[in-house]
Amino acid sequence: MADIDQANIDTTIAALEQGITAIPIEQAMTVLEAWQQQLQGLAIADDLGELKDALRKGKSADAIANLLTSLGGDTSSELTIDTSGETAAKIRQLSSLLTQAGAELRS
């Protein structure tokens, strides 16, 4: 299990709370790269790579929404394993925000 960087969680949560469409693409790419490096070796890193690729290629909002929703589910299921306390709560919050972001793009 990768050690989860609290600052990275907090920064990502704060950005998502502003709304997915308020996040500049450059910032999103930087955040995705940081998470991808931190979670290297886990299946979720591949999901992050797919999202990064979709953003880079200008894929449709629906395609990105599907990736965000999938990432939200994977975040909760994969990263809360062997995690307790405040970190687990923040991971669940992050998972929820990713799922909400996917729904926001669909509306």
Task: Report pLDDT digits (tens) over 49-87.
Answer: 999 999 999 999 999 999 999 999 988 888 766 666 888
The model's pTM: 0.89
Could you tell me if residue 104 is left (phi over 0), alpha (psi between -120 and 50 degrees) or otherwise beta? alpha
68 contacts 51 by C-beta, under 8 angstroms:
yes
Whether the CB-CB separation of 103 and 96 falls below 8 Å is answered with: no
What is the band of 4 on the pLDDT scale with cuts at 50, 70, 90? confident
